[in-house]
Structure formats: structure tokens, C-alpha cells
Structure 1
Amino acid sequence: MEVEIERVLRETAGNIAPGVPYALKATAARLAGEPDLGVPSALPGILSLRVDGDLFEDCPDLDIGYIREPDRIRIRFVRALDPEPVPEAGADGGKPATAGTGADRPAPRPGPAAEAVAVRQVADAWGRVTGWLRDHAPGSYAALRPGAGPAALAALEAGLGRPVPVELRVLWLLTAGDDGVDGGGCLPGNEALMPLETVADQYRTRRAIPGWRASWIPVVARGTADTTSGLYLDAETGCLGRWSRYDEPPAEEPDTLVTYLEETADMLRAPALATRDRPGLAGGVLRWAAGLAPGREGDWRPLTG
């Protein structure tokens, strides 16, 4: 039976751990002969197969999700499984110490099904954005940074003092920031996806501001060198929010990272239906109308279609 590994998985599996691409290929070969190895997951139509990482070099335990069709198998996601926690004895050598309560307790992490959905949605939406940039705005595409590796994400989490939500993790595994062109990024308003070092710096800076919550992780900046406003992701609610020195009003309906990226992709693919902002091109670079600098309107051409 034919087994198909989705392109985004082939490109990013090595970001989980060096041994994951080989484990994924080996699992695909095994599924070709034993297509019913998986068990039903919480996702409709998706079978889940747990892979023992000890069978491969430099590979964690994996959860691999796939769709079984009559004549082929499509592997849709792969994620590393957290190690089983080992209870620690309390100070008196007796019962394990109990977790904190209230503010000391981290927000519950989404289950495997929710994580799998988020991985697929973010990868699909961002893939549509970057695919359009590659084909129509090569200058903007070239400004995108390569994806981050596990070590870089682990260092960021250590600096933040909290885990990075799965939707942000998969985005940064694909693209770890936007260096932009002439100060502008590729997101609506010509805002830019922050590099990880800027995320860490802005988080430290803004945590000192009264009212800034520990769960707010900066993601998007007004420009590549302008952090006077931008978007943060609330790790507890999954919603995006805006900070600004300019007292900009909040959106009527809060976005999630997924809906924000999906709408961005939709505006590029069907600009006539765009409502948030108007995309256009200027010399092979994507420029959004709301963020055009004075004097730059002359060489800007709105997208049509």
C-alpha cells in the first residue's frame, strides 16, 4: 500500500529531533505492510500510532496520526510525546510533593487531539501564505528566516519561564521570524513576525509594565525595528491581543493565531474579499495598504481577483 508523508512533515520533522525523519520513514514502511496498526484518535477519521523512540537513535517517543484510505495511507501529523513524569519524594521522604495552586499552577496543556488540529491548521495556513509569497513576492519570501530548532525553542521557553503554546511552536518551527524589507514585514499592516530573540527581549521588557500578564507572549511587531505596537498570544486563552503606545482599539472579535493566519492567507488568495487590509505589490515585495509609508503609494499596485 502507498504511504504518503505530507510535505510539511518531511520538511519539519528534523526540528523535533535529529532521529525523527528516519523514524517517520521507518514507520511509513511498516504501515505499508500493516495499515491497521493505529487506533482511533479523538480526531474523526484519524488513526494514532505510538512509536517507541528507543528503537531509533536520538528520537523521542512519537505520536503519529494518519488517514487510512482504500488504496493509500496519508500521514498527517507527528508530535513528540512528553516523558512519563517520575514522582519525587517530599522533603520527609514520604509522599510526593503536591503541585501548587492558583497562580502557581500552569494552565493545562491541550490534549493530543487538540494539539494535532492546531499543528495542521497553523501549518496549512502559514504554508498558504509562504507559498503565495514564493510565487508572487520573492523579496518578502527571501526575508523570512528558516525555522527554529528544538534547542532554540527550549532556550526561549527557559527565558520566558513557561512553555510555548503548540500553535506558536509549529509556526516558529516553520519560520523563526521575518527580517522584512525596508522595515516592513509580510503580515497585514506590514507588521512582522518577531525573531525569537526579539520575542524574549520584548517579553522581559513588557513584564515590567504593570498589567502585562505572564501568559502574554509577544509574536508580531509593528515593523522589523518598531515594537511600539504589536500582537501577543495569550497562552491561557489562545487569543491574540494588541499592545500599543497609540491607544489603538481592540478588535471587535479576538483572533486566534489560526484565524489570523487563515484570514491573511485568504486575503492574499482572494484580495477582492479582503476586509482587514488591502494587499498589494511594490517591486516584488508584499505591501499592505494600511501600513504604507508616506510617499510609497506611487509604486504600489493593489492585488486584484
Structure 2
Amino acid sequence: MNVDVEVPPHIHGTATHLGAGVPYALRVLARQLAETPDMGHPSDLPGILTVTVEGDLFEDCPALSVGYLREPDRVQIRYVTPISPSAPTAPTAPAQDADQSQERARATNPADDALVVRQIVDAWNRVTHWLQHNAPRSLEALRAGASPAAIATLGAQLGLQLPVELRTLWSLTAGDDGVNGAGCLPGNQALMPLEEVADFHRSRMDAQAWQNTLNAQRPAEDRFVGWRSAWVPVVSHGATDHTSGLYLDTATGYLGRWSRYREGPDEELDTLVTYLEDAADMLEAPALAVRDTPGLVDGALVWGSGLGPEQEGRWRPLTG
């Protein structure tokens, strides 16, 4: 017996953006899933199966990775991302002893992880759906999702077990190149590309190693900690401005703020889920936004708190 296959509206929008032949390829896949809902393979994301669509079979369609949720009586497609032509092979992560693993990674529960996957996917799809219909230039600045191998490589470079929320987000987009230096997140902040995440983490760890040398000669109350190994930089002040931003503390699951101006990091008390959900809420209901005001400049999303003098005359705040 066939099952129902649900393709949410934002997935249709994403498919159209990826190529003229992608919507047709998605319809073909939906028919196949209706007949064979278990054709996918387990992904790195709990509860999500993935299937590959060969781009050579369809005109104007790249190779695709399609993730879907399999339920007893239905299938729901959760994301569609193009596959990079040459995905790197993930190296084997260095061995960690039990104490290191406990310190570096939060304990996970499969059911909790599956919920986080759904929340991240839903929140990010709300953001990109809004961009598609209101700020296409900002949507075009978002990079395609990273492959599981690329994400695993980054985890190995950082020496961390990456939490499911980061792996999920990066599978949807591998960073934001911005429009005129502005990212699409509140404050015109931008998701950092994966290669910049690794480089920035390394530079901050080097700087902290020097601070640790100085801390050894300081009284306890004067010691400065500007970075910890468990912190993963996620969002920067702008697409090309890394003077400040947000990191995810992989030990606690909360976001924190860093600054190169030697202020101590501040706890945001936001998780990545609540941060993205809040951004989506502000875009969909700007009249209720309290943290920032979204607006448009020449087809790009520009948040009021990061508005430059040269943009003031062209900025249209959203009030709906």
C-alpha cells in the first residue's frame, strides 16, 4: 500500500531555486517514496533518512541529497540540498579518552536529537522561505549545504564531537557570503563558512594559549579566559567582519558572545534552536520584533541595528 508523501511549500520554493529541472525530479522521487518509503539510508541526523537524486537523469538538475522523515502512514520531505561535485573524505577523528569525551560532548538522547533536527530544519526553512519571497539577493548569498564528510572533517579539525544542531544547520547551508558585507541574521550577522570556523577556532585557541602563559603569573581574579576548546564559532558580526560574533558551547548547548576587543564573553542564554526560531519570528511578524527590525534595501535583507548611513534613504522597514 502506498503512503502519502508530503512536500511542504518551502521545499517547492527551494527546489525551484536550485534549478528548473529540480521540481520535476522531486515529483519523480515523491512517487518512488510513495511506493518504497524505506528506500533511503540513515543519515547523520537522527530520525532522518536520505536519498540521492542523480542529476544526470534530469535536465537542469544538480545531484541532490534529499532528507525525509519516515512515519508509519506518511513521508515528509524535510530538506533538499545540492551535492558538491567533489566532497572530501572524512578523516578518522583522533581518539579521545573517556574524560575528554565527557568534557567535550553533551550526553545525547536519540529522541531529543530527532526533535532538535526537526526544530532546526523547520526554523531555517522558515527563514529561507521568507528570503525567497522577500529578499532574493540574501537567499542567493547563502551557500549550499555541506556534505556529511565535510562536516565530519571540520569536527576532526576542531577535535570535537559536533552537536546535532550544528550538523543539521550546516547540512542545510555551509555559510553566508552576505550582501555588501551584511548577513541575513539579526544585526546583519552572518553564518560563518565552515573553513572560516576552523581557522577562527584555531586562532582563538592560539591566543588563549598565550593568555594562559600570562594567567600563570596573574592573581586568580585577574586571569582572562577569552576562548575554550569546546566553543565553536557559528555567527560573525558580518560576512567579512569577525571582530565579534556568537559561538556555540558544545558542553552546555548555549550560545555565547565573543569580541576581539577583549571584553569577556557573554552568555546569550539562547540555544541555536531558539536563536533561529526568534529570527524567523521577527521576519514573519516584524511588528512584534523586540530584538531588531528587519527591512529591505534593493532586494536584500538589512536589519535596522546594522543599518549604514549610505543605506538609510533606501531602507524600507517591515511592519507587517
Paired amino acid for 1:296: Q
1:115–1:295 distance in 2 versus 1, CA, 3 Å? same
Corresponding residue for 1:86? none
Provide Cα deviations, 1:27-85, integer angstroms capped at 9, x if missing partner.
753559xxxxxxxxxx9xxxx7999xxxxxxxxxxx985444xxx4234779xxxxxxx
Distance 1:192 1:25 in 2: 37
Corresponding residue for 2:174? 176
Paired amino acid for 1:102: D
Paired amino acid for 1:198: E
Q: Percent identity?
A: 51
Corresponding residue for 2:119? 121
Corresponding residue for 2:35? 29
**Residues 219 and 233, structure 1, Cα contact 8 Å, conserved in 2:** yes
Distance 1:173 1:102 in 2: 29
Provide Cα deviations, 1:138-193, integer angstroms capped at 9, x if missing partner.
11011111111122112211211112211111111111100001111000000100
Over the aligned positions, Cα root-mean-square deviation in angstroms equals: 3.4
Corresponding residue for 1:301? 316
**Structure 2 counterparts to residues 67-86 of structure 1, below 5 A:** 67-68=71-72, 72-75=73-76
Can you give the 5+ residue segments of structure 1 that lack an aligned partner in the other structure?
Answer: 13-20, 33-42, 52-62, 79-98
Can you give the 5+ residue segments of structure 2 that lack an aligned partner in the other structure?
Answer: 16-25, 39-45, 51-66, 80-95, 209-224
Corresponding residue for 2:151? 153
Calculate the TM-score normalised by the size of structure 1: 0.71
Corresponding residue for 2:19? none
The alpha-carbon deviation at position 103 of structure 1 amounts to 3.8
Corresponding residue for 2:266? 250
1:296–1:77 distance in 2 versus 1, CA, 3 Å? closer
Tell me the SS of whatever aligns to 2:287. Answer: helix
**Residues 77 and 119, structure 1, Cα contact 8 Å, conserved in 2:** no
Calculate the TM-score normalised by the size of structure 2: 0.68
Paired amino acid for 1:146: A
The aligned length equals 249
Corresponding residue for 1:102? 99
The equivalent position to 1:208 in structure 2, one of 206, 209, 217, is: 206
* Pair 1:186-2:184 in alignment: yes
Distance 1:296 1:49 in 2: 42
Corresponding residue for 2:276? 261
Distance 2:126 2:11 in 1: 15
